[in-house]
Amino acid sequence: MRLLLAEDERELSAALQAVLKRNHYEVDAVYDGGEAYDYLQTGNYDGFILDVMMPVMDGFTLLKKIRNERNNVPVLMLTARSTEYDKVLGLELGADDYVVKPFGIMELQARVKAVLRRTERRGDQVLTCGDLEIDPAAREVRKGGKLVELTFKEFELLRLLCARRGVALTR
């Protein structure tokens, strides 16, 4: 599994890289939001560990940008921003999990595994609701076979609404 780590504190980044590599992950590390964005455009990552307070582009802005571009890479926010508002904002912008610094390394390892496990399982499932097809992995919606352009929020609301109504999952 290949991860992108965006953390501007170089000592923490080096420690996280060592732990992740010991757990058999390939890790690319970047130190600012602009560099992280560039790596996401050119690399194929199974997961993304993202700090919020970074130079060039903060993590919230970067997350919003990639989700608006329909990039569905699983994102675990790892940050000192610990208010309820910050946590909710990160999750509403599309983070799959939110971990506050300081954190325990075993907890972080478990959360990385959990995020990757959840996204792996849902990766090949398509929701069908009448003539709508919702592909969470591709973040695409088709009505009668034609692609429907939606914002990230519209997509998530539609997906949740259909899921609550017990629509069929197909492979």
Question: What string of DSSP letters covers 36-95?
Answer: HHHHHHH---SEEEE-SS-SSS-HHHHHHHHHHTT----EEEEES--SHHHHHHHHHTT-
More confident residue, 30 or 132: 30
Q: Is the pTM of this model over 0.85?
A: no
Distance (Å, whole) CA 163 – CA 143: 16
The pLDDT of residue 169: 43
Least confident of 63-77, 111-125, 140-154: 111-125
**Length of the chain, please?**
171
pLDDT confidence tier of residue 120, bands split at 50, 70 and 90: low
DSSP state of 98: E
Confidence of residue 124 (pLDDT cuts 50, 70, 90): low
Neighbours of 92 (CB within 10 A): 13
> What pLDDT was estimated at residue 140?
78
Q: Does 23 score more than 50 pLDDT?
A: yes
pLDDT for residue 109 is more than 50: yes
Q: Among 13-22, 43-52, 60-69, 141-150, where is mean pLDDT lowest?
A: 141-150
CA–CA gap between residue 13 and residue 58 (Å, rounded): 16
Percent of the chain exceeding pLDDT 90 equals 61
Question: Which whole number is the average pLDDT over 79-92?
Answer: 96
